[in-house]
Structures are given as structure tokens and as C-alpha cells.
Amino acid sequence: MSETYPEVQGGGSLILAWQVRGRRVLVVGGGEVAAGRILNVLNADAKVTLVSPRDGLNDEVAYRIEKKQVDYIDRKFEPSDLDGADMVLTAVDDPEASTQIYKLCKEKRIPANIADVPPECDFYFGSVHRDGPLQIMVSTNGNGPKLANIVRRQIAAGLPKNIGAAIQKVGQLRRKLRRVAPGPEEGPKRMQWMSKVCETWTLEDLCEMDEKDMERLLGFYKPNSVPLLTQLRLGEHAPIVGFGGAFGWW
């Protein structure tokens, strides 16, 4: 029986999509590495506080400060900077200072990433490909960041150019479906039906799908069927069905 289950492969990390929207992220350091960290968390809609002396600021970091994309404190790190922080990222050329910050974070139970010191990281940054809502991260668990970048580029080169737009349309359809069938008991059926749509329609079909197509397609949720886009537009199946914002169809 054991051969029917996946073999456990230890030594990995749990890769998650961490939602930090609106959370306070403290970045210590203002060099090139800090610039990348800042962009990563700004892309995730976090609120960023940067602590670093103005001397030696990376040009991109200086730009973020000038555009008021971050809250800037012009000095070296002080322990009080951790007050109110939900996450800490350090990128300074001072191993001893970095270790002290990490120890303080552990005491306060604040997740931290100490750049270039894997043993002092609660999480790692991977190499990320972004296309609209699509994000693909490649992690080497701190072993080879440059290699992760190479692998990420190879993966991205093999993806369809319109996959980001297709995912956006699928997201719109899912939100509409949740309004049509909001009950928790509908959850498994919603997932099954959306899977059918993604398997039946091509990426080009999903990109081309408009609001009218979505409304007509939703008419096939109850009978649990999925017509092709061409059939849907030719009217070979059910007519457009409206949803009045409450339970049921009209």
C-alpha cells in the first residue's frame, strides 16, 4: 500500500502565497538587495518602512523614497523600529548587526529574512515570474539564487504569452459564479464546474470571453455542462440567464 502514496522528500520549504496587503514590513538597509526586497513587498501591497542612513542609498531605493512609496527613517536600525512590524527584511553589510536584528525578531515572534544568511531566515525570496495575476516562484531553498533566476526564465519562456489575460478572465467568471451560487454547499460543484471550463476552453477562448459570454455560460452551471465558445455564441444551447443579486435565477 505504501507504494501508492508520494514519498516524503525532506529538506524543502513550504512555498506559500503570503498575503501581506496592508501589513507593515520593515526593511533595514538601502542597497541593491534592499531595492529588490522593497519592490517585492510593494507589489504585494504592503506598507513599507525603510530604515537606512541616506549615505549610500541605491538609486532605486532613493526613487521609492522620493515618490513616497515607503516611509523613510534616515538613520541606523534601533530596536524600537520593530514596534508594529509584521515582517522584517534586512539587507546590510554587517553580519553581527544582522544577527542581532534576527535575535530580536525571534524574541518578538516577527518573521524575518536576513539577506544572504539562510540559517537566519524564517522564509526565502525566490525568483518570480509575474504576468498579471499569475505568479510563479522558483526557490533553491537558499542554495543558489542565480540558478533560480535561470530556471525561472526558462519556465517563463515556455508559457503562452496570453496566459495572464486568460487567468484574469477566469477570475471574473469565478466571482460571478460565486454570486450566482453563494452557498457553502455549492463549493465542490463550483470547483468542479470551473475545472471543466478551464479544460474545455482554450487560452485563446478564455482571453476572448466577454461579459455577455460569461452571463450565457453561467446558464450551464446548474445542469453542470460546459459548451464550447463557438457553440455558446451560435446559440445552440441555453439563452442568456440573468442574476438578480439574490438566490435563484430570473
* Distance, first Cα to last Cα, the chain: 51
DSSP letters for 75-137 = S---GGGGTT-SEEEE--S-HHHHHHHHHHHHHHT--EEETT-GGGBSS---EEEEETTEEEE
Closest CA to 20 of 46, 50, 48, 49: 46
Active site residues: 116
Q: CB-hemisphere CA count at 13 Å for 71?
A: 9
